[in-house]
Amino acid sequence: MSNIMRLLGIRTRNRNDDGYLCKLTLNVDDQVEEPVCSSRDAVVTAGPPTGPVELEYVVDGLPVPPKAFNVEVVRDALRYRARPSDVFVATYPKSGTAWLQRIVWTLLNLDRIDEGVPSLMDTMTRHMSFLELVGRRMVEALPEPRVIKHHLPFWLSPYHPLAKYVVLVRNPFDCVVSFYYHCRAEPSVGLPPGVVTFDDFFERFVEGRVPFGSYFDHVLSWYARRNDSNVLFLHYETLRERPATVTLEIADFLDDGVASRLRGDERLLRYVVDRTSAGCLKTGHLLVSTPSSGRSAAGAVRNMKGRSTVNLTGSGVALVVAGVGLVVPGGSIVGGA
């Protein structure tokens, strides 16, 4: 069990052994009912819930929304073996994934930039496959070098010491608000069973009982690898503040030749930054959609800071945020009290 799971009072159970997926129900007394099907999957809980809570499907410890993902495809995706030439875009949901995808694709296709950026579906299936969505076989069918996106923590990510991993993390306060609105607006994902309000969703987010599991464990797993030569650990907030600087940092990591071209041609660099800006992403994009009102999102963050439920976990959340350096340029914790 990780330190952050202990800090937030989260426990892990393993159930069953024969390889089938199932749903489990936790009751008020924290007793787990025996499932009708079985799997050696981890179920994450955070103490006795206040009522019956149906968990997501869990694949090798990773909660996935069954509406949007085929659980057998996800299980097979985790068997993908990374190649030396692979480039991975690794993020937690709602952390600027689509923005990072666009930047990476553009840098690796600089001579084709005038042809336009592929559609979301083409990006996920043909150019930068979403590993958990399309599965191992579709990714293996792509020509090398492959650019692969996933929402996996380090311990579940396909790994090769020569492959490259571009990691983007976002502060948890804004991430949870964006994640809530995304789940509420996107029928293929939907809110977790039993979740109606933002309060409900926030509790499950802190406990790690949301699609793709614990934000904290995910971020800390990649933070621990931040000094590896094949890992580039980036902050969403820095990308927003200094997009040209971060774009050059990504170019340096991916291809020295591309980085040299951009440094030698300021006009080309500005063109790349403009073509890959957050403003160019379509409204309602699968991975970057936000509430229609920025005021609503900010209000949700302010409101959640004042609730007693947050006070119980606030120190733990702040400790994690400070630990991974998710701070605004001024030095204060983003969204923190």
Pick the CATH number of 62-320 from 3.40.50.880, 3.40.50.12500, 3.40.50.300, 3.40.50.10490: 3.40.50.300
Q: Can you give the pLDDT of all 337 residues of the chain as single tens digits?
A: 334 333 333 333 333 333 222 222 222 222 222 222 222 233 222 222 333 334 468 898 899 887 788 989 999 999 999 999 999 999 999 999 989 998 999 999 998 877 776 776 676 667 788 999 999 999 999 888 999 999 999 999 999 999 999 999 999 989 999 999 998 888 778 787 778 889 889 988 988 989 999 999 999 999 999 999 999 999 999 999 999 999 999 999 999 999 999 999 999 999 999 988 877 665 333 333 334 443 344 333 334 444 333 332 443 444 444 444 443 333 333 333 2
pLDDT number for residue 278: 72
Using alpha carbons only, what angle is made at residue 10 by residues 6 and 14, rounded to the nearest 5 degrees? 115
> Residues 318, 320, 322, 326: what is their CA dihedral angle, to the nearest 10 degrees?
-100
Phi-psi region of 148 (alpha: psi -120 to 50; beta: other; left: phi over 0): beta
Please tell me the pTM assigned to this model: 0.72
pLDDT at 45: 28
Token pair of 333 as six digits: 């914790």
- The confidence score (pLDDT) of residue 308 equals 31
| Phi, psi of 30, rounded to the nearest 5 degrees | 65, 25
How confident is the model at residue 180, as a pLDDT? Answer: 92
The confidence score (pLDDT) of residue 120 equals 64
Q: In this structure, what is the dihedral angle of CA atoms 108, 109, 114, 116, given to the nearest 10 degrees?
A: -90
Q: What is the DSSP string of 105-136?
A: HHHHTGGGGGG-PPPHHHIIIIISEEHHHH-H
Domain residue ranges of the chain, discontinuous segments joined by +: 62-320
Active-site residue numbers? 151
Query: What is the DSSP secondary structure assignment for residue 19, as one 8-state letter?
Result: S
